[in-house]
Structure 1
C-alpha cells in the first residue's frame, strides 16, 4: 500500500480534532511522566509535523519512558531498538534471507518497520549503524538489495542519547543530527514532581497501565489537518532570516541547513494548531528556534573555549532578525 493511498484514506480531521485528540494523548503521557509538560508538548509538535525527536540527557531522567509512553498512547505498531556497539545496520533495515523451501530470497524486515521506533541510546552504536537510519528518516523508505520498501504511516523515530562525554558513546554524524526535527533535554524533575513519582510509581509500572487513546489512522488525519495551517509570506521570510542568521554567526562554524528551514516551518504549523490557531506567528518561530536548530549547528572553537552553548548562540542569532510587523 502506497503512502499516498494511506493519506487519502485517513479520516478527515479539523483543528478542533487536533486539540481534542492531542489533549488526550498528552493526558495519557502525563500519567507516566511527571512535571514535564514542555517536553511532552514538543514531542507532540514533532509528531504532528511528521518529524523525528532526539531526547538527550543523563541516564535516569525519563528519556526512554517518554518515548515509550508516546508510543503506547497511540494504537499503532511500536518497536524498540537498543543501540549497542555490536548492533548491525541490517538489524535496523532488515535483510534478505534465502528460503530453502521456496528456493528464493525473502525479505525479513528490521526494527525500523513500525509507526513509532524507539531508538534507545542511539549514540552507543557505531556511526555506520547510526547511518542506517538516514534513508528511512528522510524518505520514509528502506532500500535493501536493490528493492525499496515503504514504511508505515505515520512514522516517527524517537531516539534517546546520553551526553557525548559519557563513557561508551559515539558522536552522532552531522547528517544524522540534521534528520531530527527537534532535540529536547528532559532535565531533573522538581521536588514536588519527584515526590509524586515516588507516591504513584514506587510500587507499580505506569507503562503497564497506559492504554491507547487514539490510533494511527486518526493521527495521520491530524497530520494532514496541521498542513492546512496558514503561514503568511512575512513569516516565511522571518524563518529564512532566522536560519540565515546562524550561517553568518561568527560563533558557528556550521550554520543551519535548508532542511532545518522546512523543519522549523512544519513545527511552527503544529505548534500553532495546538495553540488553537489556524495561522503561524513569529513567536511560534522564535520559540522553536532553539529545539529545532541548536543540535544541527557546530559552535566555533572560540565559542567552545568561551563555553557558549549552541542554544545561547541560536538565541542571540534570533535576536538579530527583525520581527515582521504584520503577519
Structure 2
C-alpha cells in the first residue's frame, strides 16, 4: 500500500468495509501473480489491463508486433476464469463473423442462431484497424450496448465483458483508421514499449525452461470475484475537490480551465469530452483500489493520465507535422492545473 498524498480526501465514514478491502487485495494479488508468471515486465500494461477490467471498460493496445499483447490478453482471461475469444481482423471480415448469424436447418425447416465470437468474457480484436468501417461499427456497438441483435432477437453479452483491441502503428497500407468518435469509446489506450535487456533475457530464460507453459502457481479468481471487484471499485470515494480537479483538467484540454495554457489551441483542435472526465474518475477509482485505498487522491488521477487521454486529444496539423506527442500535451495540462 502506498502512502496517499491527500489523506484529507478520505470520507468521514468508510465506503468500503475493511473485510471487503482485504478480500480485494487478496484477489488482485492472485491476478497479479498469474500475470507475472506469464508476462515478463510490462508493468504499465498490467496496471492498465486490471484498471480497465475493474472499471468495466475496454482497452486499445498499440505497439509493434511481438510485445505480448495477445499473451497478456490470454493471461488476463486465465486469471479471471473467463471465456476468451480471439478475432483476427481482416478487410473481408463481416459483422456477422463477429456478432453471429442465423443458420437454416433444412431437416427441421427452421432457423437456428449461432452466436459469434464476441460472446465471451474477454474478446481480443487483433489489428482492429484492418477490418472495414462497417465491421468496426458492429463491434463498437456491441461494446457500448453490451448486447447483440441477430435476426431481430437480442442476445445479452456475458458479464463481465471486456474488449481488448490491438493496432499496429507501422503498417498503414490497407488499414481503416479508427475515427476519433470510435476511439473515444475505449476507456484506455495503452502504448507498449520494448522490454529492457534484462527483461528480454528473462523472456528467453522462460522460453528455454518452459516456465511460461507450466501450470499456474496461483488459483484464478472467479467471474463472481471480478463482479465484486468492479462493485468495490465503483464504491471508492471521490471527493468533490477531486471531481473539480478532473473537470479542470478536461476543460484545460479544451483551451479553458482555471489556468488556460497559452497557444494550446495551436497544438490541440479538439480536447477531451465529458466521457474523458468520466474515464479519468473511473480509472482513478480502480487504481486507488489496487493501491489498497478506499478513496481517490490526485496521484490516482495522474497514474494513468496518458492512457486515458492520449486518444481523446485531436492534434492540429502543425502539432502532427512537428511531432508533438500527446503525452507531452497531457503533462503540460497536469502541470498547469493545481492539485487539491
Q: TM-score, normalised by structure 2?
A: 0.87
SS in 2 for 1:179: coil
Does the C-alpha gap of structure 1 residues 86 and 309 become closer, same or farther in structure 2, counting only changes over 3 Å?
same
Structure 1 unaligned spans of 5+: 1-12
Is 1:83–1:121's contact at 8 Å kept on the other side of the alignment?
Answer: yes
Equivalent residue, structure 2, for 1:129: 135
Structure 2 unaligned spans of 5+: 1-18, 256-263
Is 1:117–1:157's contact at 8 Å kept on the other side of the alignment?
Answer: yes
Equivalent residue, structure 2, for 1:144: 150
| Partners of 1:165 and 1:116 in 2: CA distance | 26
Deviation sequence 1:228-274 (CA, Å, 0-9, x none): 10001111111111111112241212211222221111111010001
Which has the larger displacement, 164-173 or 278-287? Answer: 164-173
Which has the larger displacement, 102-111 or 37-46? Answer: 102-111
Does the C-alpha gap of structure 1 residues 315 and 225 become closer, same or farther in structure 2, counting only changes over 3 Å?
same
1:286, CA displacement in angstroms?
2.1
Aligned residues: 312
Pair 1:300-2:316 in alignment: yes
| Partners of 2:198 and 2:53 in 1: CA distance | 29
Q: Greater Rg, structure 1 or structure 2?
A: 2
Does the C-alpha gap of structure 1 residues 169 and 202 become closer, same or farther in structure 2, counting only changes over 3 Å?
farther
| Partners of 1:90 and 1:72 in 2: CA distance | 27
Deviation sequence 1:143-173 (CA, Å, 0-9, x none): 2333221111111011111105444432112
240, 245, 258: which one pairs with 1:238?
245
Deviation sequence 1:54-73 (CA, Å, 0-9, x none): 11101111111111111122
1:203, CA displacement in angstroms?
5.8
Pair 1:214-2:214 in alignment: no
Equivalent residue, structure 2, for 1:322: 338
| Partners of 2:130 and 2:197 in 1: CA distance | 31
Pair 1:59-2:65 in alignment: yes
198, 209, 232: which one pairs with 2:204?
198
254, 268, 276: which one pairs with 2:270?
254
| Partners of 2:78 and 2:204 in 1: CA distance | 22
Does the C-alpha gap of structure 1 residues 59 and 141 become closer, same or farther in structure 2, counting only changes over 3 Å?
same
SS in 2 for 1:31: helix
Equivalent residue, structure 2, for 1:9: none
Which has the larger displacement, 306-315 or 160-169? Answer: 160-169
Equivalent residue, structure 2, for 1:277: 293
| Partners of 2:76 and 2:175 in 1: CA distance | 25
SS in 2 for 1:75: coil
70, 79, 85: which one pairs with 2:91?
85
266, 271, 274: which one pairs with 2:282?
266
SS in 2 for 1:108: strand
1:306, CA displacement in angstroms?
1.8
Q: CA RMSD in A?
A: 1.8
Deviation sequence 1:266-301 (CA, Å, 0-9, x none): 111010001111001122112222100111221011
Which has the larger displacement, 288-297 or 195-204? Answer: 195-204
Which has the larger displacement, 140-149 or 235-244? Answer: 140-149
| Partners of 2:112 and 2:180 in 1: CA distance | 34
| Partners of 2:329 and 2:170 in 1: CA distance | 20
Deviation sequence 1:164-184 (CA, Å, 0-9, x none): 544443211223211111111
| Partners of 1:74 and 1:287 in 2: CA distance | 24
Q: TM-score, normalised by structure 1?
A: 0.90
Is 2:31–2:79's contact at 8 Å kept on the other side of the alignment?
Answer: yes
7, 13, 21: which one pairs with 1:15?
21
Does the C-alpha gap of structure 1 residues 173 and 145 become closer, same or farther in structure 2, counting only changes over 3 Å?
farther
Equivalent residue, structure 1, for 2:4: none
